[in-house]
Amino acid sequence: MEYLWKADLENGTYKNPLLFADYSDPDVIRVGDTYYMTASSFNYVPGLPILTSKDLVNWKLVNYALDKINYAKYDIPQHSKGVWAPAIRYHDERFYIYYGMPDEGIFMVSAKDPLGKWDEPVLVLEGKGLIDSCPFWDDDGKAYVIHGYAKSRIGFKSYLGIFPMSADGKKAIGEDHFLYNGVETQPTIEGPKVYKRNGYYYILAPAGGVKTGWQTALRSKNIYGPYEEKIIMKQGETIINGPHQGGLTDTVNGDEWFIHFQDRGLYGRIIHMQPVVWENDWPVIGVNAQDGCGEPCLEYKKPNTGVSESPSSLEASDDFESSDLNLMWQWLGNPKESFYSLTERAGFLRLYALNPSGKAEPILWESANVLTQKLVCPYFKATTCLHISGLSENGQAGMVMMGGHYAYIAVRIIDGCKTLVYSEAYDAKDGMKEKTTVIRKLKDDTDKIYFTFTMEKGSEKPLFKMYYSLDSEEEINVPTDFVPSDHTWVGAKIGLFANACLDGDDRADVTGYADFENIHVSSIE
C-alpha cells in the first residue's frame, strides 16, 4: 500500500502530525474500544466528518454527520461561514455533535449509529456570534452548553458563555450569559471543551490566537464558576506553532491524550496528539513540562489502547468505480443531484457544466458544483484524466487548486473550438475575478487530456507546478508563479469541476458535461 502520510512508525511509536490534513478544530471521544473524531467543515458539504480509530494513531474517514446545510443561501458557497468547531459526545447510548454557525446559532445533530445516517439538525439556540459549542450533562441530570463568541458577528471576543438546555439536548431552557472573561489574561480564548474529574469542572480551551497561542485549563467546583486558570501547553522551544484547539480522551487503562490542531498555512489545520498527565488536579499536556506546562512532541510512544491496528493513510486517489462519491470529496456548497453522475458512464465521474451561481460571469469561488478534497501530505503529484467530447459552447472542465488564491487549467469550448486555458484569481487584489489566458487550441478530434499538479519542497516555501499532456505528447509545463493559499480557516484543496463559462446575460442551464476517468495522488519525498 502507498502511504501518502503515515504517523505510525511501526516500532511502538508515532510521529506528529497524526493527520497531515485540514481537520480544523478537532474533537474526539472514546466509546468502548473505538475512538470517534469530528472537525469543522465550514461551507464544504457534506459536513461534520466522522473519523474512527482503535489506537488513536491510525484514522479512517468513515462518514459525515451532515448531508447539507439547511439554509438556501448555502446553495452558493458561503466562505468562512457554515459549520464551526464541533464537539462530539456520547450520552444515554446516543452520539451527539454540537456546532456553532456564526450567523445562525448553535445546532445539534445526533445518531444511534455514528456510521449510519444522522438525524436532521436541531437549532438549540438561535443567535449571531454563538460559536464553539460544547454540551455537558451533569451527574444531577442537568445539562448545559458552554461556548465562545465570534467578534466578527457579535462585536467582542475572549469571553466564554453558558446556558442551560433540556435534558434531551434539543433546546436552550435559560438565558445565555458570560461564564468567563479572558480579556486580560487569556485573550481570544475560544473552543471550550468541558469535562468533570475529582469534583472539579474543567474547561480546556486555546487562547492567544491560532498561530501563536497556547492551551489553557480552567477549573471550578461549580459549573458556573468562578474559575481558576492555568496555561498547560505552549509551543516553547518546539517548531509546533499554536498548538491550538482540541479534545481530551482516555484509554481503557486510564491514560489520557489530547488531540489538537496546528495551523500550517496553505495546508490548513493539521492534527497532532499529545500525552496528558495530572499534577495537583491540573492536566499537563505534552512533554518537557515546566511548572505544569508542557510542550508539543514530534514523536512519542503509541497509546496503549488494548487494540492493535495496521498503519493507515487517508485516501486521495479515486477510480470512480463506485456508484457513490468517495468520502474524500466535498462540494464547495450545497450540492444538487444535477451536478454529477457516477452511473451515466460506468467507471467515470460525469460532471455537468452548469452555472449554479446564476451570475453572468460565474467564477469557481461562487460555484457550489466544484468537487474538492483536502491535501493529505506536504509534497505530492496529482493527475486526473479528463474526457472532453461532451462539452458544448461556453462549457469548460478542469482541475483547480482551490483556496484564498486559486488557479486552474481547463478545456473550454470557445467559438466551437476545444481550447486549453489557464486561469487564476487573487482575492486580495481583484475581488476574486478570474484572469484567464489561452494556452493553445486543441484538435477537433481530441477526446481526452491529462492534468497534473505537483507540490514540491522549495528552499523557503513549497513549489507548485501545473502540467498537461495529450496521448500523443509528453507532459508540458504550464508556466506560473502561483502559490496556493488558505482562506480564513480552510486550507488549499485539489478540485475537479465542470461549469458554464457564460458571457453577458446568457444563463444557459447546461453546456454539456465532462467525464473524469480517475484521479491519482502520490507522495513526493
Which residues participate in catalysis according to the annotation? 25, 190
Region of residue 95 (phi > 0: left; psi between -120 and 50: alpha; otherwise: beta)? beta
C-alpha cell at 148: 465562545
Residues 6+ apart with CB under 8 A from 159: 148, 149, 178, 179, 180, 181, 182, 183, 189
Cα separation, 223 vs 276, whole angstroms: 23
Cα separation, 411 vs 438, whole angstroms: 10
C-alpha cell at 312: 493507515
3-state secondary structure of 194: strand
- Compute the residue count for the chain: 525
Strands 130-137 and 143-149: antiparallel
Cα separation, 312 vs 58, whole angstroms: 5
Sign of CA dihedral 217, 302, 32, 309: positive
**How buried is 93 (Cβ within 10 angstroms: 0-12 exposed, 13-18 middle, 19+ buried)?**
exposed
Question: Residue 369: which of 241, 514, 254 has the closest Cα?
Answer: 514
| Alpha helices (H) in 415-514, listed in sequence order | 427-430
Cα separation, 416 vs 450, whole angstroms: 21
Residues 6+ apart with CB under 8 A from 127: 105, 106, 176
**How buried is 345 (Cβ within 10 angstroms: 0-12 exposed, 13-18 middle, 19+ buried)?**
middle
Cα separation, 200 vs 520, whole angstroms: 50
Contact of 264 with 274, CB cutoff 8 Å: no
